[in-house]
Each structure stands twice: as C-alpha cells, then as structure tokens.
Amino acid sequence: MFLLFPERVLIFSPPAWKQIAVEGCLHGELDEVYASIRHVEKIEDVKIDLLIRCGDFQRVKNSLLGIDKPSIATTKISEYELILEVLLWTRSSACSDYIYIGGNHDASNHLWELYYGGWAGPNIYFLVFSGVIKFVNIRIGGISGIYKQGHYHLGHFERPPFYESDLRSVYHIREYDVMKLKHINEPIDIFISHDWPVVVYEYGNLKRLVRRLIIVVLLQIKKRTLGSLPAAELLNQHKPHKWFSGHIHCNFTAAIQRKKDESITRFVALDKCVPGRKFLLIVDINSDPGPYEIRHDADWLVITRKFNSIFPLS
C-alpha cells in the first residue's frame, strides 16, 4: 500500500523485509531528509539502513576555504548555509549509509575527485559517474548527471577550477560512462539516475503528469525528447526491478512491462525536498541477513580496469 504522511513523506512498506529510503533532489535540505527518516522510523517502528539520493545534493565541503561554491552551477546557496556545511558533512546521519549520484546542481570539484566513487563524508558514499555497487545482496547501478547530445560523444575535458561553461558540461553524461554500464552482465536490482529515461512517462499516467509541469517540460514531452536517451538504452538492456530518478521536481510512477520476457521495471520519480512534496519513498527489499554495508561489485571492478586505458580526456 501507499501511505502519504501529511505533506511530507510517501511510503511503501509491507512488513518484514529490509527497508531502504529513496529521496529525490536534495537541494541542500539534508536536515529535513534526516528528520523525515527519523519520523518514519518512529511511527512505523522500522530501521532504515540505506538512503539513496537521486542527484542535486547541492552541498559543499570546504566552505570555510571558499573553494567549493564556484564549483556548483547555481546561485541559490546562502552564506548562512555555507557556514554550516562542514558540520553537516561530519555529523552522523539518520541511516547507516547514504548513497548518492550527481545531478546538475552539485559541487563538481568533489565529484571529479571521486570519479571512481568513494566516501565523500562520514556515511556518505558517492556512487561514481557511472557504476555498480552492492548493498547486502542488492546490486545498485547508477549514472550521474543529465543528457546533452552535444557533449555525449566527448571526453571528460573539464578540469578544476572550472570555467563558467565547464560548470554545466562537467555534469553532462558521456558515452564512455554509458558504454561501461552496457558491459554489465549480472542482473541489476535497482538503478538510479538524475535524468529520467526518455519517454518513460508514456508508461504512466501522462494526463496527470502534464497538469503539473512547466511549459518547457511540456514542449519536450510533445517532441518526445524529455529525458535521457542513454538512460533509456540502459533501462531496456538491464531491465532492473526498480528505477529511481529526480530532476524534474514532480512525483511520478510508471510500470515498464515487456511481453517478450514478462519482466517489469517499476519507475518512480521523486520530487525535491520542500514542504508538501512527495520527496521520500520507503521501499522494502528482500535481502540476505547482511552485513549491511556498501561493497564493491566484482563485475564492475573488472569493467573499470579494462576501460581505464581508454579513458577519454578530450
């Protein structure tokens, strides 16, 4: 069942299985997300072991040095928020672990430093520009950024300190990163992207969706260009059980059903973290007994090593 907490949380929670939380665009509201998770844990008497975020962390780490703010392609970060950043990175979270991918409003200098993934802070793990990890026996794949055709076939030419144009091109998906994901052979349980797979909206309630969107997005739907073509290719190839996205700032669900093999992918887009929006989803996953920790995926490590020699820099 779906239970909507008053103006805050969308939750899906049949009993007994292990539960993870999925959140849309954070846009700096880390405290609000943690508070919402604690609220769910208290009233549902559950423990959330993992939080997955679908892009736009919009948090910086070195605010006191003044070097991170120029690496975010947004001006919507107040000086007061910047003063609190170091504390927010070093405090413990509401969950055991926190996985996130990059969106189009993130500190790109940190994402570039962690291109192959890694701990961005205590309990906070950056999933990589593209890649797969394991949490218990759950395989989680993801790709950061958004799709722009003009940059797709280019290499990762951006270098910090970024020029103004680089602040946006650096988070555009590259063919190299998608190609690595296409070499994955083992099944993927959950996939995360910031951008929606292109035309995924045709598998849900499109009439309800268009009533809530701005004109620019509606024009993209009319032209069938809303979303990411590479993400759609990965969706069709890997057929994950669940796919989560953010970016468009609305709540939307769809079921991609395939007649050939009768597989189904449940797609959920989550809203941004603001009052009255459905920005948080609790999902029950049937998993083994643990330990509940983030681990490298052996298949992905082999692919990363094979592709490293052709890493495109221009």
pLDDT tens per residue across span 116-164 = 998 877 788 899 899 999 998 899 999 999 999 999 999 999 988 888 7
Would you say 178 and 128 are in contact if contact means Cβ atoms under 8 Å apart?
no
Q: Based on the number of CB atoms within 10 Å of its own CB, is 161 exposed (0-12), middle (13-18) or buried (19 or more)?
A: exposed
What is the side-by-side strand order in the sheet with 10-12?
A: 2-4, 10-12, 280-285, 18-23, 48-53, 97-100, 124-126, 118-121
pLDDT of 310 strictly over 60: yes
Tens digit of each residue's pLDDT (9 = 90 or more) over 192-248: 999 999 999 999 998 888 877 766 688 888 888 889 999 999 999 999 999 999 998
How large is the average pLDDT for residues 249-268? 94
Contacts of residue 186, Cβ cutoff 8 Å, sequence gap at least 6: 139, 297, 299
The Cβ-side half-sphere exposure at 82, using a 13 Å CA radius, reads 16
pLDDT of 81 strictly over 60: no
| Inter-axis angle of helices 175-182 and 229-238, nearest 10 | 10
The Cβ-side half-sphere exposure at 220, using a 13 Å CA radius, reads 18
Q: What is the pLDDT of residue 96?
A: 63
Could you tell me which of 100, 101, 37, 95 has the C-alpha nearest to residue 280? Answer: 37
Place of tokens 């205590």: 122
Residue of higher predicted confidence among 292 and 301:
301
Q: At 61, is the pLDDT very low, low, confident or very high (cuts 50, 70, 90)?
A: low
**Alpha-carbon distance 119 to 127, whole Å?**
9
DSSP 149-200: HHHHTS-----SSPPTTHHHHTTB--HHHHHHHHT--S--SEEEESSPBTTG
What is the CB neighbour count within 10 angstroms for residue 211?
Answer: 9
Q: What is the pLDDT of residue 52?
A: 94
Q: Which residues on neighbouring strands pair with residue 157, listed in sequence order?
A: none
For the chain, the average pLDDT equals 82
Could you say which of 3.30.420, 3.60.21, 3.30.2010, 1.10.8 is the CATH number of the domain covering 2-309?
3.60.21
Q: What is the pLDDT of residue 287?
A: 74
